[in-house]
Structure 1
Amino acid sequence: MTSADPTTLRLPASLHALAAMAGLLERLERTPRQASADQYRAVVQQVQQLLAAAEPGAALDALLQAAPATAELYENLQYTHAGLCRSPLEAALNAELAASAALAALRTPKAG
Structure 2
Amino acid sequence: MAAPLPQPSSSARPADLRARLETLIALARLLERLERSPGSASPDQYQQLVQRLKGLLDEPGLPDEALNAVLGAHPATAELYENIHYEHSGLCRSPLDQAVAAETQVAQLVSRLSRRH
Do the two structures share a fold, i.e. TM-score over 0.5?
yes
- Of 17, 20, 29 in structure 2, the residue corresponding to residue 23 of structure 1 is 29
- Coordinate RMSD, CA, aligned: 2.2
Give aligned pairs, total: 91
When normalised by structure 2's length, the TM-score is 0.66
Deviations 1:18-58 (A, max 9, x none): 11111111111111111110010000000000111152511
Could you report, residue by residue, the CA deviation over 1:42-93 in whole angstroms, capped at 9, with x for unpaired residues?
0000000011115251111011111110010001111100011101133345
Q: Partners of 1:58 and 1:39 in 2: how far apart?
A: 29
Alignment of 1:58-97 (within 5 A): 58-93=65-100
Structure of greater relative contact order (alpha carbons < 8 Å, 6+ residues apart)? 2
- Given that 1:78 and 1:85 are in contact with CA atoms closer than 8 Å, whether structure 2 keeps it comes out as no
SS at match of 1:84: coil
Distance 2:63 2:89 in 1: 13
Structure 1 stretches of at least 4 aligned residues deviating more than 6 Å after TM superposition:
none
Structure 2, gaps ≥5 residues long: 1-16, 112-117
- Change in CA separation of 1:56 and 1:86 when aligned onto 2, cut-off 3 Å: farther
2:85 is paired with a residue whose SS is: helix
Q: 1:48 aligns with which of 54, 68, 81?
A: 54
